[in-house]
């Protein structure tokens, strides 16, 4: 049987497709990393007028006295700076675990329990959330309005978001767990909270956004450095 060039090209194409499909099924190409399990706690793109990360989780620069004594000297959440009254959204499906305490982040806070022993805490809310413990929520549901730690909205209004585990006794870095384009999340705004303290005796440790230690509440201070920048 005589094959025309077009037929040969078609056969070659089919063979190649079969080879690629087999390679993919057998795992010959590296599997794509699973998407982070949680969504952003606020809607929209980052920007100076909408929201931006004002302080990362972890070993961020503090002003003088480190204010995170209970959290081993680390900022144990991510701060989403946003005007007071911005809708705060559940980052995943879950159950309301606590409303206004006893887990801090005044003046008002909400905790949602998710699968696998993970909790999300939303702090510095504007008013007591209209939620009841045990109530089901879904990812993206509005659960509260953002506020300010001092209860006023002209200083540093922001949502403080934590991800906890171990029955609320530990926090982890939310960054790898949230499906957010972190590259642009500071909206180009540089503050103390967007930079990390450097231990001059171990200068590469805990200075990257995603590489920060877990926190055990009540544990020893991790960053009481002898020589540090700044």
Given a contact cutoff of 8 angstroms between Cβ atoms, the answer to whether 75 and 175 are in contact is: no
**What is the per-residue binding string for Zn ion in 101-140, x denoting contact by CB under 5 A?**
----------------------------------------
Closer CB to Zn ion, residue 99 or residue 161? 161
77 makes contact with Zn ion (CB under 5 A): yes
Closer CB to Zn ion, residue 90 or residue 121? 121
Write down the least CB distance from residue 21 to Zn ion, Å: 48
- Given candidates 57, 72, 73, 79, which one binds Zn ion under the rule CB under 5 A? 79
- Give the binding range for Zn ion (CB under 5 A) out of 38-46, 73-81, 173-181, 186-194: 73-81
Report which residue's Cβ sits closest to Zn ion: 160
11 membership: H or E segment, kind and range: helix 5-25
Closer CB to Zn ion, residue 77 or residue 157? 77
Closer CB to Zn ion, residue 160 or residue 198? 160
Given a contact cutoff of 8 angstroms between Cβ atoms, the answer to whether 58 and 37 are in contact is: no
Write down the least CB distance from residue 158 to Zn ion, Å: 7
Rounded Cα gap, residues 106 and 160, in angstroms: 10
DSSP 8-state symbol, 14: H
# binding residues, Zn ion (CB under 5 A): 3
198's torsion region: left (phi>0), alpha (psi -120 to 50) or beta? beta
Burial class (CB in 10 A: 0-12, 13-18, 19+), 80: buried
Rounded Cα gap, residues 167 and 63, in angstroms: 31
Rounded Cα gap, residues 93 and 82, in angstroms: 23
73 makes contact with Zn ion (CB under 5 A): no
Closer CB to Zn ion, residue 160 or residue 164? 160
Tell me the C-alpha to C-alpha distance, in Å, between residue 182 and each of 55, 117, 163, 228: 12, 25, 17, 26
Write down the least CB distance from residue 177 to Zn ion, Å: 16
- Looking only at residues 146 through 175 of this chain, which bind Zn ion when binding is defined by CB under 5 A? 160
- Give the binding range for Zn ion (CB under 5 A) out of 12-20, 72-80, 83-91, 220-228: 72-80
Write down the least CB distance from residue 32 to Zn ion, Å: 32
CA-closest candidate to residue 49, choices 181, 179, 187: 187
Binding site for Zn ion (CB under 5 A): 77, 79, 160
């Amino acid at each position: 049987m005589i094959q025309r060039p077009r037929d040969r090209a078609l056969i070659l194409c089919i063979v190649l497709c079969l080879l690629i499909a087999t390679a993919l099924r057998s795992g010959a190409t590296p599997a794509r990393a699973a998407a982070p399990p949680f969504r952003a706690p606020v809607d929209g793109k980052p920007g100076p007028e909408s929201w931006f990360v004002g302080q990362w989780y972890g070993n961020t620069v503090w002003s003088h006295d480190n204010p995170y004594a209970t959290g081993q000297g680390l900022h144990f959440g991510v701060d989403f700076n946003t005007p007071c009254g911005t809708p705060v959204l559940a980052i995943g499906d879950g159950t309301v675990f606590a409303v206004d305490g006893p887990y801090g982040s005044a003046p008002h806070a909400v905790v949602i329990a998710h699968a696998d022993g993970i909790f999300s805490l939303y702090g510095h809310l504007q008013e007591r959330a209209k939620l009841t413990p045990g109530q089901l929520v879904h990812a993206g549901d509005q659960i509260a309005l953002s506020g300010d730690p001092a209860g006023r909205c002209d200083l540093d209004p922001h949502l403080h978001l934590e991800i906890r585990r171990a029955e609320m006794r530990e926090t982890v870095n939310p960054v790898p767990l949230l499906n957010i384009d972190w590259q642009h999340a500071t909206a180009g705004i540089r503050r103390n909270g967007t930079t990390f303290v450097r231990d001059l005796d171990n200068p590469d440790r805990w200075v990257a956004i995603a590489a920060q230690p877990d926190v055990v509440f009540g544990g020893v201070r991790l960053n009481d450095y002898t020589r540090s920048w700044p």
